[in-house]
Structure 1
């Protein structure tokens, strides 16, 4: 079964809701895949796609028997502060964020992480669907310190994928983006193209059968001729019998890579802007932090443009007039909806 990146899904959702979607600047290229997805490497569109691939006021839920689990659970509130050092070291080494030094990176990372991603993680942990594993931090950090930049397409590739452990068994519902993480490690989220919601499906190991609807391959493998085959990383050989990582095209027998350019450089769906920037008029332009000036929400790194200043997103139940002002991205009946989608 072919896997599709989130970029395709996000594009499809935008097209489906185009009549109600807020208008954007004509020269803006919206990079909907910068943190959660990738470019579509296949020309075909299957009936289903698989995803295993970043503020309600609720208390975090930690299993009572955490000491008996094969991992050490931390609350989602610890995530940003626990990962800022290892991710910023990687960002600076590989040019993934538009900053000049480590201190600037940490400020931008913590703000965006706390305001954009952590609320979703917190909500899913509170519902018992996710666990943040402290023991995975060292492996993730060691990996990011040495991995070849082009082979780490997304933040949670490789050992870093183990930072979040899904709690839902096969057969349970899942959703897009971070909601795809809720599946237990022995399953993966298979999204229906008809509903854009999914179901956790049991994963078959590489080399074993993936035939039948009750089993599938992990995100790092593809089902070819009824058998799970490990996907090649960027820069590695590829072909009809050796697929590339999700969203990476095989060109001339070699897997391509996500090219991240710098501020002021030309950008498009192939040449991607780094974090804390946006592709505006075909050029990467810096985005602002909270309290900094803006003219449009896409100019804010971690909030929305309220008047002419980047401001915090509004939480569930707060009065709103625009979808873009809400943490959930959904303003309904004059109030912001909760973070959880209809899928869960």
Structure 2
């Protein structure tokens, strides 16, 4: 990677930070659209990903490698994409967005442990220390009550169900990352993998929504504020944050970009307080958030980025979500 001018590097760092903040707001947007806007869950996944899929096809048609659809490994990849997407969607339906984001931030540790168990790779330094501190911080955050607009939502909270789904979603994401690394042997480009990702989610959620006969009539009753949140969800996060993270990784490298991952918690807290009235209500919860932020940032940066490169480097610079 060629040396960059300080001003240029600041621009890419800013883009990387904006992308991470966007992914931090992702669970908040999902929860709002399902529980406040009352959009049926599967139809939300179908329409959101279909819109981005059409934009990607229009912009990247000539760069798509159609041969990868014949690879058996891509069927496994697509299955993990669907499992991750569905559990992620339902987790934010039943529990607070902040809780879901907390669980998702544990994914680097799950990837490291799975790599050790399955691939026999060496654990990054201080994995168990960092994991213990992050779990302690998560317990502190969940120990108090977060303000919430639950009385105004269409779905009653079920934290144990939502947190269990978030844990499953993180596990599927970790497996997804390991399988993605395997696709490098087949020289699959990032654009092609993104196409498989979007296609799998669009088809599965669309067909399943039809099978369960979801009422798509809710889309006709959305208010301007609902459409604004949907636009931020699709164009802002699914397209903008994804491309921003992809480009910043290509310019700055995966270790530096992934070291900003803890800012997702900050974004979830800020956007969650604005849209869902979810906020930290005690000093212990604030302390827990600080512990998670500092520990995760330190863990991903320690060892000259070795652990973050090990966890988040994907073929052709494809960004993880």
**What is the TM-score with the length of structure 2 in the denominator?**
0.25
Q: Give the structure with the higher percent helix.
A: 2
Q: Whose strand proportion is higher, 1 or 2?
A: 1
